[in-house]
Amino acid sequence: MRFTKNLQFVILTISLILLVKPIYAVADPIQVRYGYEKVGKLDIFYREAGDPAKPALVLLHGFPTSSHMYREVLRGLADGYYLIAPDYPGFGNSSFPSPETFTYTFDHLAEIMGQFLEQRGLKRYSLMIQDYGAPVGFRIATAHPERVQAIITQNGNAYKEGISPAGWGPVLDYWKGKTPELEKTIIENVFSYPALKWEYTHGTRNPDAINPDSADLDYLKMSRPGQHRMHLDLFYDYQNNLKLYPQWQQYLRENQPPVLVVWGRNDAFFPEPGAKGYKRDVKDIDYNILDTGHFALEEEHAFIVGKIREFLRKRNIL
């Protein structure tokens, strides 16, 4: 009798294990994948998620970060969309050719990113742009307007009133003339670890809740030999983006892509007037000003991901 009870207990235990095991054996359905695409001589790193057969969303990062900034967007939308977030040359995990042999301009970055999208077979997509993602993304959009289904801008500027003189400070002087003194000032006040951390926390509602890993990662990458020269070259070239603003605004007026604005109002570099500019040129606009800073995704990713899903669905980008 005792043996029978023990046997029943063993059978029951095994049955429960067999029932529970499949729960833990199921793979995460929202899995981010990582890879490299050879573009010319460069290895372009990218993160991707979702089914490539679904509508594509190209995520273009800002300064001084990488595709890492879109980690929550990748996981949050991969059930319904195909998302791909590349690192520009010199950023993140992509190749970092020396500034002595590679021209770091926004024309060049956009050219490489455009070739990257061609090689990945992307012919129709929505663009999400933030900071540097705007000059890269608008160059891609104006080159192939027929490919862009929608634009999501998170402090991705295309208007002169969206440039804060106080925030840009010595960079505006740098445009008037390069000097060793100005370069030293920029390096000390923009590229230092405290400055990078400030960029993530300034204007946020709860700075203590901002994960420091992003600033740590950016500083680690920026500490590589040659990085200061690369970023100074891009800072100097940024003035050429302002010269293209009228062309980008004309693209918006003529092509009328739906635009979702999710803008941190407390951005020290691209204040809210830059967001308002889109209202002048775009008829189909979903306008959202958020009480946060430059990297709104760090504090408002849940809202932004939900808003992107709603915005695309309402426009039948499914």
By annotation, the residues acting in catalysis are 294
Distance of alpha carbon 198 from alpha carbon 212, whole angstroms:
10
Distance of alpha carbon 160 from alpha carbon 157, whole angstroms:
8
| Tokens encoding 258 | 């739906």
- Residues contacting 46, CB < 8 A, separation 6+: 34, 35, 36, 37, 67, 84, 85, 86, 87, 116
Distance of alpha carbon 36 from alpha carbon 44, whole angstroms:
5
| Tokens encoding 109 | 């970055």
Task: Show contacts of 166-171: CB within 8 Å, 24+ apart.
Answer: 166/268, 167/267, 167/268, 167/269, 167/270, 167/271, 168/269, 171/235, 171/238
Specify whether the CB–CB gap between 308 and 282 falls below 8 A. no
